[in-house]
């Protein structure tokens, strides 16, 4: 058993000055005996100065932000009081500014008092963590060192004045700054304060201006062939910023591709339309009693009686509220998009799962596909394929494909090395390894991928109604345009039921297979 002194030594080594206090506190923390309201008074009063001296930059950040918020609120009090005084002739402005000023003052006091208390409460608890890290790695800051104040002072000096200045001023709007830029370009004198305000405290300044790009059109020549025609911008047209320039370039290239390679997109459109009409002839073209019967029977075969009751009830809901045809329309779209997703996504997933290069290439692409807001897919779809169901399917497909690729790859990669080794040891060739070992073992993951694809397709098909894909989504968008809340809610419930129906059946079928 270590003596009391030996026990306290590491704490003393760590804390340096005032070590006895920290030894007591840390011991209490280790024994779970620290009082619930224990507050480090030095930390509470010293705030970020204390944190800097103790070398805990996390605590420094916390305390600094607390004090900064309080300071900013105080600056706001000053700003609004001044504004109220400046506008003393307009009663409503005075009332508004004084209201804001008062709430800022209260905010400043509350943040300062509660923040300091909270910081004092947090200080020893986090400092103890730092001690534990220091036990492992002695390069972690320890003791109390004045030299750290230099860095802390630098940070405070860099941030505080600008923050306070920003809060006491009304930021200039973008147009004012553009005007000001033009005035400078024409050689007018602009005060330093205005220039500084535009450059630092408003919108990020436009650093460079680009000449307006040529206007590109694609008229037909005498033989009726399309040609590219460039028209320079008119003399003296104002320059544009980077965003305008690049989006113009993207528009031009999309126009170019659709004009000169239109046959490609027409081909894809035709293919999608053909596929969709084949599916719709089953779902929409068949009389409803048959479709409904087949769907219920399928649900029963795949997922058992309980899910079947749910499916039947949902179908009756759709039928009773007059959504039968539109629901079947949506279902066709979902089926078409899901089939394409699986057909393309499965091989891609295998590639990503088996090849390091495939993984490196596809991961960023999939990330982008999944993070771009789904609405954005609609625009290029329209640009290349105009409006209607085929571009709707394409947008849906791009949106719903990533989980198929990812989950297939995951499944393939999860197959144990030893299992693969055994197959190789018995003379499997690469194809046999894939079909007899990897794919069967990845099947649960692949099925989860298909389920995801169907669900995401459904959600995107609804959005694709905006570009004329029709179906349940169309009812919703129409209700949105005419503010028919009731109709919108009914259609929304219908979509939810459709989704739950598919999900339950697919999931249950997966489970029973396993």
Partner 1 sequence: MSDMNKEGVVVTRNVWKIFGDRAEEAMEAVRREKLSKAEVLERYEAVVGVKDVSISVGEGEVFCIMGLSGSGKSTLVRHINRLIEPTGGEILINGVNVGELNAEELRILRADKIGMVFQNMALLPHRTVRDNVAFALELRNVDAFTRAQHAERVIELVHLEGYGDRLPSELSGGMQQRVGLARAMAADPDILLMDEPFSALDPLIRRGLQDEFLELSKTMKKTTLFITHDLDEAIRMGSRIAIMKDGEIVQTGTPEEIVTKPADDYVADFVAGISKLKLVFAHTVMQPVEAYETGGRTLPPIDACPTAGPEDNLDVLVSLAVDQENPIVIVDDDKPVGVVTKDSLLHGIKGEV
The footprint of partner 1 (CB under 8 A) covers 416, 418-419, 421-429, 432, 436-437, 440-441, 443
Task: Work out how close the CB of 416 gets to partner 1 at its nearest, in angstroms, rounded to a whole number.
Answer: 7
Task: Work out how close the CB of 417 gets to partner 1 at its nearest, in angstroms, rounded to a whole number.
Answer: 9
Task: Work out how close the CB of 198 gets to partner 1 at its nearest, in angstroms, rounded to a whole number.
Answer: 55
Q: Between 94 and 424, name the residue whose CB sits nearer to partner 1.
A: 424
Name the token pair of 78. Answer: 């000053």
Q: Between 193 and 514, name the residue whose CB sits nearer to partner 1.
A: 514
Task: Work out how close the CB of 50 gets to partner 1 at its nearest, in angstroms, rounded to a whole number.
Answer: 47
Q: How far apart are CA 394 and CA 408, in angstroms?
A: 21
CB atoms within 10 A of CB 65: 13
Q: Between 339 and 424, name the residue whose CB sits nearer to partner 1.
A: 424
Task: Work out how close the CB of 405 gets to partner 1 at its nearest, in angstroms, rounded to a whole number.
Answer: 23
Task: Work out how close the CB of 419 gets to partner 1 at its nearest, in angstroms, rounded to a whole number.
Answer: 5
Task: Work out how close the CB of 353 gets to partner 1 at its nearest, in angstroms, rounded to a whole number.
Answer: 18
Is the Cβ–Cβ distance between 38 and 25 less than 8 Å?
A: yes
Q: Between 247 and 435, name the residue whose CB sits nearer to partner 1.
A: 435
Cβ neighbours of residue 152 closer than 8 Å, sequence gap 6 or more: 48, 49, 51, 52, 60
Q: Between 124 and 438, name the residue whose CB sits nearer to partner 1.
A: 438
Task: Work out how close the CB of 341 gets to partner 1 at its nearest, in angstroms, rounded to a whole number.
Answer: 25
Q: Between 31 and 431, name the residue whose CB sits nearer to partner 1.
A: 431
Q: How far apart are CA 213 and CA 248, in angstroms?
A: 8
Task: Work out how close the CB of 507 gets to partner 1 at its nearest, in angstroms, rounded to a whole number.
Answer: 19
Q: How far apart are CA 117 and CA 126, in angstroms?
A: 14
437-to-18, 405, 412 alpha-carbon distances in Å: 66, 19, 9
Cβ neighbours of residue 488 closer than 8 Å, sequence gap 6 or more: 475, 476, 479, 480
Angle (CA) 415 352 391, round 5°: 130
Cβ neighbours of residue 174 closer than 8 Å, sequence gap 6 or more: 202, 203
Tally DSSP H helices, then E strands, for the chain: 20, 2
Q: Between 427 and 486, name the residue whose CB sits nearer to partner 1.
A: 427
Q: Between 51 and 437, name the residue whose CB sits nearer to partner 1.
A: 437
Task: Work out how close the CB of 434 gets to partner 1 at its nearest, in angstroms, rounded to a whole number.
Answer: 13
Output the CA torsion sign for 141, 144, 147, 148: positive
Q: Between 220 and 514, name the residue whose CB sits nearer to partner 1.
A: 514
Phi, psi of 229 (to 5 degrees): -125, 125
Q: Between 371 and 429, name the residue whose CB sits nearer to partner 1.
A: 429
**Nearest residue to 363 via CA among 415, 400, 410:** 410
CA 369 centroid distance within chain: 12
Q: Between 398 and 415, name the residue whose CB sits nearer to partner 1.
A: 415
Q: How far apart are CA 280 and CA 276, in angstroms?
A: 6
Task: Work out how close the CB of 407 gets to partner 1 at its nearest, in angstroms, rounded to a whole number.
Answer: 18
Q: How many CA atoms within 13 Å lie on the side-chain side of 50?
A: 20
Angle (CA) 445 451 453, round 5°: 105
Q: Which residues pair with 229 in a beta bridge?
A: 217
Q: How far apart are CA 108 and CA 116, in angstroms?
A: 12
């Amino acid at each position: 058993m270590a003596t009391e002194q030996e026990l306290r030594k590491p704490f003393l080594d760590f804390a340096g000055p005032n070590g006895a206090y920290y030894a007591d506190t840390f011991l209490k923390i280790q024994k779970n005996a620290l009082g619930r309201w224990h507050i480090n008074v030095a930390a509470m009063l010293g705030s970020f100065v204390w944190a800097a001296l103790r070398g805990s930059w996390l605590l420094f950040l916390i305390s600094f932000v607390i004090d900064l918020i309080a300071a900013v609120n105080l600056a706001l009090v000053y700003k609004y009081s001044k504004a109220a005084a400046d506008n003393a002739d307009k009663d409503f402005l005075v009332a508004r500014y004084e209201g804001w000023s008062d709430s800022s003052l209260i905010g400043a006091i509350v943040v300062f008092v509660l923040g300091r208390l909270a910081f004092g409460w947090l200080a020893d608890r986090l400092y103890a963590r730092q001690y534990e890290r220091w036990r492992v790695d002695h390069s972690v800051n320890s003791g109390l060192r004045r030299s750290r104040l230099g860095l802390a002072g630098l940070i405070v000096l860099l941030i505080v004045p600008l923050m306070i200045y920003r809060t006491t001023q009304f930021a200039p709007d973008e147009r004012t700054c553009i005007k000001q830029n033009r005035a400078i370009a024409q050689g007018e004198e602009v005060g330093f304060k205005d220039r500084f305000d535009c450059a630092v405290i408003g919108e990020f300044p436009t650093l460079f201006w680009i000449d307006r790009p040529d206007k590109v059109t694609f008229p037909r020549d005498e033989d009726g062939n399309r040609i590219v025609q460039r028209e320079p911008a008119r003399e003296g047209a104002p320059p544009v910023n980077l965003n305008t320039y690049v989006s113009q370039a993207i528009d031009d290239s999309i126009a170019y591709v659709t004009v000169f390679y239109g046959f490609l997109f027409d081909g894809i459109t035709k293919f999608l339309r053909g596929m969709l009409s084949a599916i719709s002839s089953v779902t929409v073209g068949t009389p409803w009693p048959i479709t409904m019967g087949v769907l219920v029977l399928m649900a029963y075969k795949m997922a058992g009686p309980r899910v079947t009751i749910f499916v039947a009830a949902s179908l009756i809901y759709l039928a009773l509220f007059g959504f039968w045809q539109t629901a079947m329309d949506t279902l066709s779209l979902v089926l078409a998009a899901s089939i394409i997703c699986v057909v393309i996504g499965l091989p891609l997933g295998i590639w990503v799962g088996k090849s390091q290069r495939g993984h490196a290439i596809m991961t960023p692409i999939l990330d982008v596909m999944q993070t771009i807001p789904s609405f954005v897919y609609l625009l290029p779809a329209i640009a290349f394929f105009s409006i209607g169901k085929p571009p709707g399917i394409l947008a849906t497909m791009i949106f719903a494909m990533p989980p198929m690729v990812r989950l297939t790859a995951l499944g393939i990669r999860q197959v144990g090395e030893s299992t693969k080794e055994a197959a190789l040891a018995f003379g499997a060739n690469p194809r046999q390894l894939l079909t007899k070992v990897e794919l069967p073992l990845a099947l649960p993951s692949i099925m989860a991928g298909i389920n995801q694809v169907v669900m995401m397709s459904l959600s995107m098909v609804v959005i694709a109604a905006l570009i004329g894909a029709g179906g349940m989504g169309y009812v919703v968008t129409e209700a949105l345009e005419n503010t028919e809340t009731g109709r919108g809610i009914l259609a929304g419930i219908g979509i939810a039921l459709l989704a739950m129906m598919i999900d339950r059946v697919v999931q249950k079928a997966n489970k029973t297979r396993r």
